[in-house]
Amino acid sequence: MSREIDAAWVEPDHVDEILQQWARERPDVDVSAMAIIGRISRLEKVIRPRLNAVFADHDLESWEFDVLATLLRTGPPNRLTPGELLASMMITSGAMTNRIDRLEKRGLVKRERSRDDGRLVLVTLTRKGRKKVDAALVDHAANELRIISALTPAQRAQLADLLRLLHHAVSAQPAGPDDSKA
């Protein structure tokens, strides 16, 4: 059941309490970013178990779903090189090899040599893998819709746009502390 939240007024939360404490204790420090970063961090901790529960219902780990879904969404023949998978997953090459090994042992993917270039290995979604990820995808998408059901379609679009903007901006920044103050 959906409960729409009035964006004009929402009950204060734990992050608001933290911001008030900082305003009292260190009014000289701008901690306004904590309103966003704190909530993103707290949301991840609430959302992650809900996502993992759906994956567990399908005998999958979240990383397994990610690999299988990546192969599925590429379209037929649902095949990528390990390097292409690696680029889409943003993990180390060693981790990708381990993941492919584990999925192959479960019969969810298979490795095969490219017909065009025998040096190239391709990872292909098996029929069993496709069946598993198809079923998990339906439940996963419904679960995510439940998670965001308090937002109107317009709020969802706005939040998606703002998060995209923030992601691009943060990704373009160098990691680590601001060296300009040194």
Q: What is the pLDDT along the chain (182 residues), one digit of tens a residue?
A: 445 555 556 788 899 999 999 999 999 999 999 999 999 999 999 999 999 999 999 999 999 999 999 999 999 999 999 889 988 876 777 788 899 999 999 999 999 987 887 778 999 999 999 999 999 999 999 999 999 999 999 999 999 999 999 999 998 888 777 655 54
Token pair for residue 171? 């990704």
CA nearest 143: which of 52, 60, 61?
52
Token pair for residue 127? 């029929």
Token pair for residue 78? 């649902």
Token pair for residue 106? 């479960």
Class of residue 45 by CB neighbours under 10 A (exposed 0-12, middle 13-18, buried 19+): exposed
Task: For the chain, list the domains and their CATH numbers.
Answer: 12-48 (no CATH), 58-163 (1.10.10.10)
Q: Are 85 and 76 in contact (CB under 8 A)?
A: no
Phi, psi of 77 (to 5 degrees): -90, 25
Report how far residue 87's alpha carbon sits from residue 82's, in angstroms, rounded to the nearest whole number. Answer: 9
Residue 75: half-sphere exposure toward Cβ, Cα within 13 Å = 0
DSSP H or E run through 79: strand 79-80
Report how far residue 122's alpha carbon sits from residue 116's, in angstroms, rounded to the nearest whole number. Answer: 11
Give the three-state DSSP class for 10: coil
